[in-house]
Structure 1
């Protein structure tokens, strides 16, 4: 079973700079275990305890895994998994205070 996994720039040090890698698994958890066997250290960047890290978003065929089963989300041959770091922050509104 071949599943394409798109890797964000910040995690490409674990994939020798590759933007996408192939992995296998019947579920997202199985896929992450397969990724770890071929790209050591990647799992620790995706998983914390028993769940995905808070600031990591994972999509299977454009569906957020948090809404389709999380780590138990099913996978099929030909699926595409995209890993994205969450983006937060930004500039605070700097309106004059009248002083």
Structure 2
């Protein structure tokens, strides 16, 4: 299944400056594996050492935060847009 992935500015060094890339996979985990195959190292910036989403990275499948769905097992239907968004903190 083909999906589009929106890449935040800070990770565009991995995608050659592209703000949106295509990927394949039926789940978010598969999509991230596919991305890492084509854009080496990007998965390590999204996932922590334990294989979970980094604390300050938000990932949306469509309009839904995957932390409130199935995390990495969230289904990614064909044509879905996935957004990787670094969390912003301030005070």
Q: TM-score, normalised by structure 2?
A: 0.96
Q: Does 1:31 align with 2:31?
A: yes
Q: Does 1:55 align with 2:62?
A: no
Unmatched 5+ stretches in structure 2: none
Corresponding residue pairs, total: 90
Unmatched 5+ stretches in structure 1: 91-99
CA RMSD of aligned residues (A): 0.6
Which structure's relative contact order is higher, taking Cα pairs within 8 Å and 6+ residues apart?
2
Residue 2 of structure 1 and its aligned partner are, at CA, apart by: 1.4
Moved over 3 A (4+): none
CA distance in 1, matches of 2:23, 2:62: 15
Q: TM-score, normalised by structure 1?
A: 0.89
CA distance in 2, matches of 1:83, 1:13: 14
